[in-house]
Amino acid sequence: MRFGSFDDEQREYVINRPDTPLPWINYLGTEAYFGIISNTAGGYSFYKDARLRRLTRYRYNNAPLDAGGRYIYLRDNNPAKPFYWSPTWQPTRTALDKYECRHGMGYTKIKSELAGIVSESTYFVPLGENLEIWSLTLTNNRAESADLSVFSAIEFCLWDAVDDSNNFQRNYSIGEMEILDGVIYHKSEYRERRNHFAYFACSEPLTGFDTQREDFLGAYRGWDTPLAVEKGASAQSVAAGWQPIGSHHVRVELQPGASRQIIFLLGYQENPVSDKFDPPDSQTINKKSVKPIIERYLQPAEAAAAFQALRVYWTGLLDKLRVNTPDADTNRMVNIWNAYQMMITFNFSRSASYFESGIGRGMGFRDSNQDLLGFTHLIPERARQRILDLAATQLPSGGAYHQYQPMTKLGNNDIGGNFNDDPLWLVLSVSTYLKETGDWSILNEQVPFDNQPGSEQPLYNHLQRSIGYTTDRLGPHNLPLIGRADWNDCLNLNCFSDTPGQSFQTTTSKDGTVAESVFIAGLFVLAAAEMIGIANQLGNRAEAAAYETEKAKIEGAINTAGWDGEWFRRAYDNFSQPLGSIECTEGQIYIEPQGMCVMAGLGVENGNAQKALDSVAKRLASEHGIVLLQPAYKKYYLHIGEISSYPPGYKENGSVFCHTNPWVMIAETKIGRGDQAFDYYKRINPSARQDLSELHRCEPYVYAQMISGTEAVKPGEAKNSWLTGTAAWNYVAITQWILGIRPTFDGLQVAPVIPTTWQGFEAERTFRGVHYQIEVKRQGPGNQVSLEVDGKPVPGSVIPLPAEGVKQVQVKANIW
């Protein structure tokens, strides 16, 4: 069953009923001002940091679901018994005659009709501005005129979302507002150490307003039955303490067939500390800088132009890679939604979604590095800055803080380091950047360790230390020590936690000198190969040779201690017993080492890769994707930690943990099995699962972190949508390995491993300022490539970089 459909032309997902299985959300904002918005206008807004600079409140885990949002109420004043409703369905949930929500690239439109009154609202953040626009158009489809009241409503957050939700003894006394010329200003704490405020403006003259929640709602009432709306009159309340809100009341008289546009602005503004008040000796906000902004965007023409600019901006980004394959789900994910989701994961890491509360984690080191593997071609300059920020949190040992705070950019001491895979991901993100841009200057950037002034070293030195961090920490089988965990945060082999509430990520009971990770070994081989490539490009032959030696040593350890006979083992625990082995009763085979080791090239020559991938197909693959491990752990094991804390089939304990599936897809391409790779790709492609929406529950336009696995109570149900490394990795798998268009140090490579039934495909790719038009044609059943570049045959599969000044290149790739 579906709850909507894709409009690929408009790059929108169109939801046609409001009661989706879960709120289906979208993101507003591009660089600093952000919002989350659901298909019924739920959600919240913040400036830069969802915890520290939260503008509006949202209630997670609440009933009814999705409480807190950008609410509009319409009240029909005509009838003897006036009535009101929410044109976005929430919060009144009045049955609407028509409803449609369109989530697009950085905007959401919700259109509905009730009793002949059509409402269309568009929500977006203009590029470069710290505000969001709600543009509301009302149309009267009745034969007689309509007398309507429009009420807006938002609830302000007192900035720090954690403090806001627990420090009531103080917070109920600090709320302060100003209302001037129809603009509602929220200025709690502005009198003391803050130099920022929020504002909520409306383009129409006001009939009334409210800024005190209980005056608007009425005591003991909820957002579904506000007293002011019921009565058709605001209370003109000015909040002093308690719960500051913003609500405008506008009266609209509409002739039959007539329309009226009303614009609301919700924004954030900072003033210089020395110029906060006007007059200077008062406590009144200085509005000089904000007034022109408000005036500008309350004009319909300016709002329309800003919306148009946002559309153009996204066209430019998405045009960087466009494909036309025989498969519609592939085309729409690659050309639209997967690229869009990568922008969102780049901006938010794992901080703010309907599953990440925005008050928890900062930016993950491994997460952000992996996000860059797919994101970099979209905006290379922002990728460059992110790499330098991440590297600056690296520790002198080469290890890394597991997370850092986006506002301060400092490593997070609460969680610390010792996740032993972390530093290796930096090598992969940097090599992705180098291949994409050819900007070798980044390696010379002076970057501190742990952000300590005076500790600066060239970025290249950070990469060297990343590699050294692994080789300095080998265990009894010459495999890398795992530390607190590797990519799988829940495989906690040194933790041994027996106390409720302890963090599995930070509790460490063992000295960590025994437990080893085959996954990190595979990741090391992959990263070492990239380092060898970089060192060779720099002419550091001796260094490259040294990496070859280290790489061969780890490969040897994987081929012996890491090989189980039919697949790669996962790890060795604190007692030096294998995990992911036929010798185990549960957790006999894990997906991560199969994907990672084969991606790194292990077993490709001697047939072990094929054996491992056949084992994946036989033991892990399901109709909903490839599960993480099998059999799932049925009880809690002290010596393996959080992974066994989850019921079977959920999260790391045997769900389809989507992040890992593309590793297997890429591995399949390494042994030339395009049919199998693409089959796996389709199983978790959200668009291809659209018909399963009732089961899948999450949005059909973006990847979710997990889909419950074969051993779950209910297999096939997705959770934790949007913020997951799945976005970048699936994009890499389909575009770079299945379609085979990938940047290399020496030029763009075209080496597809596509399904045998495909006759070919077309692609357009902007790479280092050159536009490549690529046509792939199947001439035989295999994966051999012969290239013709601008009409001339070229040996191999890499298109040599064109001469200076060439902006267009035509590529024909025949595959045999």
668 binds, among ligand NOJ, ligand BGC, none (CB under 5 to 8 A by kind): none
Copy the structure tokens of residue 386.
């992110």
15 versus 640: smaller Cβ distance to ligand BGC: 640
Dist. CA 520–CA 587, nearest whole Å:
18
Q: Cβ 632 to ligand BGC, closest distance in Å?
A: 14
Determine which residue in the list 314, 337, 449, 487 makes contact with ligand NOJ, applying CB under 6 A: 487
Residue 418 or residue 505: which is nearer to ligand BGC going by CB? 505
Q: Which residue has the tokens 């965007």?
A: 297
Q: In angstroms, give the least distance from the CB of 416 to ligand NOJ.
A: 15
Instruction: Report how far residue 787's alpha carbon sits from residue 464's, in angstroms, rounded to the nearest whole number.
Output: 36
Q: Output 564 or 586, the one with its CB closest to ligand BGC.
A: 586
- Exposed/middle/buried for residue 622 (C-beta within 10 Å: 0-12, 13-18, 19+): middle
Query: How open is the CA angle 209-215-216, to the nearest 5 degrees?
Result: 55
Binding partner of residue 488 among ligand BGC, ligand NOJ, none, CB cut-off 5 to 8 Å per kind: ligand NOJ
In whole angstroms, give the CA distance from residue 269 to residue 198. 6
Interaction site with ligand BGC (CB under 6 A)? 489-490, 505, 642, 651-652
267 binds, among ligand BGC, ligand NOJ, none (CB under 5 to 8 A by kind): none
What residues pair up with 778 in beta bridges, in sequence order?
A: 815
Centroid of chain to Cα 696: 19
- Nearest CA-CA partner of 157 in 404, 356, 407, 357: 357
In the complex with ligand BGC, the residue whose CB is nearer, 465 or 651, is 651
Q: Which of 488, 581, 661, 783 binds ligand NOJ (CB under 6 A)?
A: 488
- Binding segment for ligand NOJ (CB under 6 A), chosen from 19-27, 56-64, 338-346, 482-490, is 482-490
Rounded to the nearest 10°, the torsion over CA 633, 595, 510, 513 is 140
Amino acid identity of residue 141, one-letter, is N
> What is the token pair recorded at 529?
């190969």
3-class DSSP state of 91: coil
Nearer to ligand BGC, 314 or 650 (CB): 650
Burial class of 691 by CB neighbour count within 10 A (0 to 12, 13 to 18, 19+): exposed
Token look-up 């710290």 returns 130
3-state secondary structure (DSSP) of residue 784 = coil
User: Is 372 or 490 the residue whose CB approaches ligand BGC more closely?
Assistant: 490
Query: In the Cβ-directed half-sphere of 711, how many Cα atoms lie within 13 Å?
Result: 23
652 binds ligand NOJ (CB under 6 A): yes
DSSP sequence for 670-736: HTT-HHHHHHHHHHH-TGGGGGGHHHH-S-TTS-EEEE--TTSSSTT-EEEESSSTHHHHHHIIIII
490 binds ligand NOJ (CB under 6 A): yes
Residues near 186 by beta carbon (within 8 Å), at least 6 away in sequence: 156, 176, 177, 197, 198, 199, 200, 211, 244, 246
Which CB, 658 or 809, lies closer to ligand BGC? Answer: 658
Per-residue string for binding with ligand NOJ, 323-362, x by CB under 6 A?
A: ---------------------------x------------
Helix (H) or strand (E) holding 322: strand 321-324
Other Cβ atoms within 10 Å of 367 Cβ, number: 22
Residue 487 binds which of ligand NOJ, ligand BGC, none (CB < 5-8 A, kind-dependent): ligand NOJ
The number of residues that bind ligand NOJ (CB under 6 A) is 9
Nearer Cβ to ligand BGC (505/608): 505
Q: Which of 12, 178, 371, 489 binds ligand NOJ (CB under 6 A)?
A: 489
- 505 near ligand NOJ, judged by CB under 6 A: no
Closest residue to ligand BGC, judged by C-beta, is 489
- CA 497 → CA 419, 504, 515, 558, distances in Å? 17, 7, 16, 29
699 binds ligand NOJ (CB under 6 A): no
Q: Which residue is nearest to ligand NOJ (CB)?
A: 489
According to DSSP, the residues that pair with 810 across neighbouring strands are 773
The distance of closest approach from Cβ of residue 627 to ligand BGC in the complex, given in angstroms and rounded to an integer, is 15
Looking at the annotation, which residues are catalytic?
Answer: 489
User: Of 624 and 651, which has the nearer Cβ to ligand BGC?
Assistant: 651
Q: Give the orientation angle of helix 459-471 with respect to helix 380-391, to 10 degrees.
A: 60
Distances in Å between the Cα of 681 and the Cα atoms of 204, 661, 678, 780 are 50, 8, 5, 23
Q: 367 touches which of ligand BGC, ligand NOJ, none (CB within 5 to 8 A by kind)?
A: ligand NOJ
* Residue 510, phi then psi, degrees to nearest 5: -110, 160
- Quote the Cα angle for 698-701-707, to 5°: 40
CA distances from 624 to 23, 555, 679, 683, 699 (A): 22, 32, 11, 6, 15
Contacted by 505, from ligand NOJ, ligand BGC, none: CB < 5 to 8 Å by type: ligand BGC
When the beta carbons of 490 and 750 are compared against ligand NOJ, the nearer one is 490
Which residues lie near ligand NOJ (CB under 6 A)?
350, 364, 366-367, 487-490, 652
